[in-house]
Amino acid sequence: MARRGMMKLGMSMRGLGYHPAAWRHPEVPADGTLRFDHYAHNAQMAERGLFDMIFFADGIGLRERDEPRGSLARSGYELVEMEPLTLLPALAVLTKNIGLVTTASTTYNEPYHVARKFATLDLISGGRAGWNIVTSWSEAEAKNFNREEHLDYDTRYERAAEFVEVVKGLWDCWEPDSLVYDKEGGLFYDERRMHLLNHRGKHFQVRGPLNVAGMPQGRPVLVQAGASEPGREIAAATADVVYAAADSLQAAKTYYDDVKGRMAKHGRDWDDLKIMPGVRTIVAATRAEAQAKFDRLQDLTDPLVGLARVYAALGDLTGFDIDGPVPEPQREAEVRSSTERIMQRARSQNLTIRQLYKQIVGGGFYLIGTASDVVDGLQEWYEAEACDGFNILPPYLPGCCDDFVEFITPELQRRGLFRKAYEGRTLRENLGLKPHVNRHAEERARSAAAE
């Protein structure tokens, strides 16, 4: 069954890749997250591969937990890295077409700052900015922002919803033709087309206007995760892109139909939202070689880092033989819901401790094989309409990004599943999204039509 249109692709570029042992890989620059050339290479490679966008996940703190003792110092993962909203403008200069998307938290930011920064990124990049809207839920982050504990779920989401409304409102303060630059007449802007926001809500009071205007996209692209019930509703109502989880084709299809099905009641078309599950790809000339690449990465996982991944569920297992059977949960174990799930898995598959943590460390939706194998997997999901494309989570960088562009992109193109050149100038255009319409300009047009 052929599906109309082409799939969309994002390259998630956080750190040194998504496998916790990536930093120990011989071809990975362990200091890459502090080197601009590392990021520049990956971004330029993703653009050579015609990716719709690069994406940076982000956190504003180091993981609180360092258990078992010493595991954090061995993890090399999400420890020190460049702040993405400062990094993306620099990458904008070295690229021309690829979208530039980053996470920014609604929990420990102010909407005026976020609106300004993404508006500026949109200007610098000629219309390629995207904002991944998240809330911050970790204690490690709370403790960097004057709190002992993170905000509860309801407060976080309530604040996030209001935060996004304020940012959108700030982006619309200046109508597209508000800046007239009439040197002769001495008029810089048309007062009738500049609008104060005057937002007065529960979490924010923001007068406006924003002191940035003229974004090429009108509004940067809005990205969300949206797995929960309220998250799905918000995504259906407002998101341009959703980074979805990918547990199985059937689950992805169910999620896709559910979220897309909610859009009509918000006055949105099926195509106004792109759903892109995350997938980890490892490709080589043969299946055996690809599997060997994966196994090598798995073998680089430090035992302490592996044990840290089961600490919350099973407690401290450092006293046990890691090549022996998984013991009963230890006293320090905290999270009871995952405990039973993990123990069941260990028992039913008769796993050693090492086998158990390797399953977890190497978990997620992996496609491992030849270019043809990987594209088979992507194509199956795409043609089943379980997604609109994929957010690639490279296990290690730059290798898995380079390999994707060299081997997988051409195969996708050969099968007519992916573009051979960028269609548009902005991220919004490449994603096939409608142009943003300024709310005040729209209202004016409506009033004029009614007269």
User: Footprint of a copy of itself on residues 183-202 (CB under 8 A)?
Assistant: 183, 186-191, 194
Residue 134: left if φ>0, alpha if ψ -120 to 50, beta else—which one? beta
Strands 389-392 and 274-283: parallel
Closest CB 432 distance from a copy of itself, rounded Å: 26
Question: Does 425 sit near a copy of itself (CB under 8 A)?
Answer: no
140, 237, 249, 312: which one contacts a copy of itself (CB under 8 A)? 140
Distance (Å, whole) CA 325 – CA 441: 67
Residue 79 carries which DSSP code?
Answer: S
Residues touching a copy of itself, count (CB under 8 A): 76
141-145-148 Cα angle (round to 5): 75
The one segment of 26-34, 282-290, 324-332, 346-354 that binds a copy of itself by CB under 8 A: 26-34
11, 123, 263, 397: which one contacts a copy of itself (CB under 8 A)? 123
Question: Does 299 sit near a copy of itself (CB under 8 A)?
Answer: no
Q: Can you tell me whether residue 69 is helix, strand or coil? A: coil
Closest CB 150 distance from a copy of itself, rounded Å: 13
CB 178 within 8 A of CB 193: yes
Nearest alpha carbon to residue 366 among 5, 54, 6, 17: 17
Q: What is the DSSP string of 221-285?
A: EEEE---SHHHHHHHHHH-SEEEE--S-HHHHHHHHHHHHHTTGGGT--GGGSEEEEEEEEEE-S
Question: Does 143 sit near a copy of itself (CB under 8 A)?
Answer: yes
CA gyration radius for the chain?
A: 23
Closest CB 358 distance from a copy of itself, rounded Å: 15
48, 116, 268, 425: which one contacts a copy of itself (CB under 8 A)? 116
Question: Does 73 sit near a copy of itself (CB under 8 A)?
Answer: yes
Question: Does 445 sit near a copy of itself (CB under 8 A)?
Answer: no
> Which residues in the 211-250 window bind a copy of itself by CB under 8 A?
211-214
Question: Does 208 sit near a copy of itself (CB under 8 A)?
Answer: yes
Residue 206 has phi, psi (to 5 degrees) of -135, 120
Residue 112: left if φ>0, alpha if ψ -120 to 50, beta else—which one? alpha
Distance (Å, whole) CA 329 – CA 331: 7
> Which residues in the 41-70 window bind a copy of itself by CB under 8 A?
59-62, 70
> What string marks each residue from 78 to 107 as x (binds a copy of itself by CB under 8 A) or -?
xxxxxx-xxxxxx-xxx-------------
Question: Does 312 sit near a copy of itself (CB under 8 A)?
Answer: no
User: Which residue's CB is nearer to a copy of itself, number 16 or number 244?
Assistant: 16
Binding-site residue numbers for FMN are: 58, 103, 157, 228
Binding-site residue numbers are: 58, 103, 157, 228
